[in-house]
Amino acid sequence: MTATALVHAATSRRTKKSSRSKLSVAGPPIPPTSKSISANGTLKDTPANRALRVAVTPQSSFTAEPFVRDAFFHDDRSVLFCQDVLPGLDHLRDSRIKVDCIVTSPPFYGQRDYGIDDQIGLEDHPQQYIDKLVKVFSKCWDVLSETGSLWVNLGDTFWSGKGAHKSNEVKQSARRFGLRPQDKPGDGKWARPKQLLLIPHRFAIAMQDCGWLVRNDNVWVKPNPVPDQVRDRCSISHEYVFHFTKARWYYFDQREVGRQVGTSMLPPLDTWVVPTARGTGVHKASFSEELVRLPILATTPPDGIVLDPFNGSGTSMVVAHTSGKRAIGIDLSREYCSLAKDALTAAKG
Ligand SMILES: C[S@@+](CC[C@H](N)C(=O)[O-])C[C@H]1O[C@@H](n2cnc3c(N)ncnc32)[C@H](O)[C@@H]1O
């Protein structure tokens, strides 16, 4: 079964939405294995089982006036902030909001100019970009529950060193915008022409150095990649979706995303074949819904909170909503916040 089919199957299994009135202790999901049940039929008191009994943020904190006062959009299930990610995350921390699942796609290095001050992704050197991302995710650490998961989608970048783009070819100019950081001369070592920068794994190693546990470097395989205009290497058709946790024991509901083989439930594969969501809207780098479904279903307990700190057009918030979870988004761009608000409003009918 492909990852796309697998994710679809998982979604159709979970149609029942969680009760919206009960908010204190969620779960537990079905015990993961028979080994976790004691002779008298109760769940053994083990760290793994305790991680399945998650106390989610109370609804009173989620809808508190000081928390939602400056939101771009809010209702009792979703809150969207239009601001820089760093003060946005500070606001969540100060409001004592703990989220259960963070799923996000930061701006990739040198790939787009979002045309807004303080945007991430156009730093002169790739190390500055990685340092900024690590700083953002260290603030995510403060708002992620101890049993929570962080999922980060990242693609890589080649250094070009070619200077500003001159071609009038339409596709090229849509992808290139003036002098991108990778078009500059570079440092002659890591940043030099033709180099694949290996940003995703350098970022993951920097995250490990800060205390995060890397659980998977899932590969998003794209069956419909944007054609590469090159003659001397393979065409790139994948990105990564890293799964990080804070602790050894964390919430993961394999029933939601596993592969049923006979009577056994096997874990999902770490290769996800999912078409890109191309040409579906104004946002040029939006998630496919399939890509965020597995993270949200597996690692958000009933009525838990999903956070996307680089929310864009709001795909994570929409999938969180349709899966019965609460959602918080942060994005610097008013244009994308409007798109996300519209998408959420449509999803809520
Ligand atoms: C790759 S896109 C996210 C796309 C999103 N996953 C979706 O499905 O549409 C990255 C987003 O990060 C936002 N962004 C860039 N710098 C930011 C910053 N400093 N603070 C908050 N958002 C930022 C951009 O506006 C853009 O929408």
Cα–Cα distance between 323 and 293 in angstroms, integer?
A: 9
Average pLDDT over residues 40-53: 84
- CA dihedral 306→322→343→347, nearest 10 degrees, is -150
Which pLDDT value is given to residue 301? 96
- Cβ atoms of 330 and 311 within 8 Å: the answer is yes
Question: What is the band of 3 on the pLDDT scale with cuts at 50, 70, 90?
Answer: very low
Question: Residue 342 phi/psi, 5° resolution?
Answer: -65, -45
Cα of 65 vs centre of ligand 1, distance in Å, is 26
Question: What is the band of 15 on the pLDDT scale with cuts at 50, 70, 90?
Answer: very low
Quick check: 4 pLDDT over 70?
Answer: no
Domain 3-157+196-348 adopts which CATH fold?
Rossmann fold (3.40.50)
Average pLDDT over residues 202-215: 98
Cα of 239 vs centre of ligand 1, distance in Å, is 17
Structural tokens at position 2 = 């492909």
Structural tokens at position 209 = 């150095």
Q: Whole-prediction pTM value?
A: 0.89
Q: What residue spans define the domains of the chain?
A: 3-157+196-348
Long-range contacts of 174-183 (CB under 8 A, 24+ apart): 175/226, 177/112, 177/113, 178/113, 180/110, 180/122, 181/109, 181/110, 181/122, 181/123, 181/124, 181/125, 181/126, 182/109, 182/110, 182/157, 182/158
Q: Which atom of ligand 1 is nearest to the CA of 333?
A: 25
Which pLDDT value is given to residue 179? 87
Ligand 1, pocket residues at CB < 6 Å: 84-85, 105, 107, 114, 118-120, 283, 285-287, 310, 312-313, 315, 330-333, 336
What is the tens place of the pLDDT at every residue in 130-169?
Answer: 999 999 999 999 999 999 999 999 999 999 998 887 665 5
